[in-house]
Structure 1
Amino acid sequence: MAAASPPDDVEILAILSAPRSATYVAAAGGDSLRAVELHGWNARVSAAFMLPAHFAEIATRNAAAEVLERLYGPSWPWNPTFEASLPATGRYNQRRDLVTTRLSNATTGKVIAELKFVFWQKLFTGRNDTRIWVPHIASVFPYAPTMTAASLRNRVYQDLDVLRHLRNRLAHHEPVFTRNLLDDLTRTIDLIELRSRSTANWVRAMEDVTSIVAERP
């Protein structure tokens, strides 16, 4: 569906605030009508991208949770050995995130759903290769191309890093029109496909990012 033509671009820009609109006005070469259309398009493509991002996050965190259950049992969030293995220093404190999350969530499933995106990304670091990924990563990403466990783990980490930063921009209604969104989409769905081709194809059939990108004003 094409974006509706705005009836009063000057009023819309004022309502959206000058600082927020300035990025779009500059990109539109000072054309206020085109700036509003670009802003509307940015919002539409951002909303559309949440669908593939949603399924990529779920697929990847469930893969990691499956491995953690094998290693530490179904109550792995409360396993002291696992807790002690997590870093407790740095800008993001992975151990504290786990402890805080499980305090207000009584089941493993609830903990999985409430842990921060970055918690799952940080599991895919080299420090976990020997203990977690070398023995298990191939089984939870069965459709990955042939590569070493460390290379696959690093690929997942890098893909999650791109997705996390993009998702943060989407969630905070930031401009994404300067990004190569089709490349972002390919990376996101390919991440799903490492785990399940059927799920990746299902997401491909549902996503609207491709068609909205083609409608960019």
Structure 2
Amino acid sequence: MQIQPTAAQLKLLEPLISRPRLAPYIAATTSPQAAMELYLWNVRVSAAFAEVIALTEIILRNAMADQLAAAYGTAWYAQAELFDDRTIRGFHSTWRNINMPTDPKTGKPEAKTLRTVPAGKLVAESTFGCWVNLLDKGGTRGEGPYRKNVDYDSTLWRKSLHKAFPNSGGKRTTVFTTASHVRSLRNRAAHHEPLIDGVPLPGQTDRRGRTRRLTLTDAHADVLRLVEYIDKHVATWLGQTSRVPELLRTRP
């Protein structure tokens, strides 16, 4: 059900949302009521994006995890020699936050080991950013004289992850760029940030030095494209059922 408040209800909502949060919408419109209508549209379009991204995230991580397990074993994530420090920190954080069931005999949580924690548990609870990072070129591991470069292109991608994206053309950079765009969109929508001016891409600037932005149409296309790299038929279905295009057409 869409939020369709009356003019009086919009006026009541305004002070509850806060003036600073409404500032971008006020700047983009001609009246407080119009600003509130645009704000609520932003809420709706964020929710619509969240629907398609939720499925995309699950499809992505399962496809990647399947190929990593096939190449490196079920506990692939425990092989530290494969990863850079950034990835290791990500998996360590996930591991630390996994809650274990209570042992009825002792009344204490079960021991957290590779045997007691199913691989699927770590896969499901790792962040989207962690999966996107596995598609990057890789960073470094260790410190001082033990510091070494970790090349994901020649290890993770060529040995396993390229198989997760049969329709991508085989280039890691292609998949990483698309996945990074989806991550930027996901983070912005999840944190209720404005989407009315598109999706800012961290670290990217145009010729004038301004932060580069994706239009919402292009951002939606990138979500579907990421799924298409894995399965074209699912991407087609997702595009046909997504609420995003209609909302973009009906922006206040």
Question: Does the pair score TM above 0.5?
Answer: yes
1:14-66 Cα offsets, whole Å, 9 max, x none, are 1111111111111103x111111101100000000011111222222222212
| 1:3, distance to aligned residue in structure 2 (A) | 5.6
Q: Which residue identity lines up with residue 112 of structure 1 in the other structure?
A: V
Q: Which residue identity lines up with residue 61 of structure 2 in the other structure?
A: R
The 5 Å alignment of 1:45-84 reads 45-78=45-78, 82-84=79-81
Q: Which residue identity lines up with residue 85 of structure 1 in the other structure?
A: L
**Relative to 1, partners in 2 of residues 1:64 and 1:209: Cα closer, same or farther, differing over 3 Å?**
same
Q: Which residue identity lines up with residue 109 of structure 1 in the other structure?
A: G
Check the 8 A contact 1:77/1:102 in 2, yes or no: no
**SS at structure 1 position matched to 2:84:** coil
- TM-score norm. by structure 2 comes to 0.75
2:182 to 150, 163, 179: 163
| 1:114, distance to aligned residue in structure 2 (A) | 0.7
**Relative to 1, partners in 2 of residues 1:3 and 1:214: Cα closer, same or farther, differing over 3 Å?**
farther
Match of 1:119 in 2: 130
Q: Distance in 2 between matches of 1:32 and 1:128?
A: 50
Greater strand fraction, Structure 1 or Structure 2:
2
1:56-92 Cα offsets, whole Å, 9 max, x none, are 22222222212210221112233xxx2232222xxxx
Give the 4+ runs in structure 1 shifted more than 4 A: none
Q: Distance in 1 between matches of 2:248 and 2:83?
A: 40
Q: Distance in 2 between matches of 1:3 and 1:99?
A: 40
Check the 8 A contact 2:80/2:88 in 1, yes or no: yes
| Residue 96 (structure 1) aligned with residue 107 (structure 2) | no
Task: Show structure 1 runs of 5+ residues with no match.
Answer: none
Check the 8 A contact 1:75/1:108 in 2, yes or no: yes
**SS at structure 2 position matched to 1:28:** coil
Task: Show structure 2 runs of 5+ residues with no match.
Answer: 100-116, 138-150, 199-214
| 1:137, distance to aligned residue in structure 2 (A) | 4.1
| 1:136, distance to aligned residue in structure 2 (A) | 3.4
Match of 1:109 in 2: 120
Match of 2:17 in 1: 16
Check the 8 A contact 1:2/1:215 in 2, yes or no: no
Q: Which residue identity lines up with residue 7 of structure 1 in the other structure?
A: A
1:185 to 209, 220, 231: 220
Q: Percent identity?
A: 31
1:105-134 Cα offsets, whole Å, 9 max, x none, are 611111001111111111112221111212
Q: Distance in 1 between matches of 2:233 and 2:241?
A: 13
CA RMSD of aligned residues (A): 1.9
Check the 8 A contact 1:41/1:216 in 2, yes or no: yes
Check the 8 A contact 1:55/1:192 in 2, yes or no: no
| 1:4, distance to aligned residue in structure 2 (A) | 2.0
Check the 8 A contact 1:169/1:176 in 2, yes or no: yes
**SS at structure 1 position matched to 2:152:** helix
**SS at structure 1 position matched to 2:52:** helix
Greater helix fraction, Structure 1 or Structure 2:
1
Which entry has the higher C-alpha Rg, 1 or 2?
Answer: 2
Structure with the larger RCO, 1 or 2 (CA within 8 Å, 6+ apart): 1
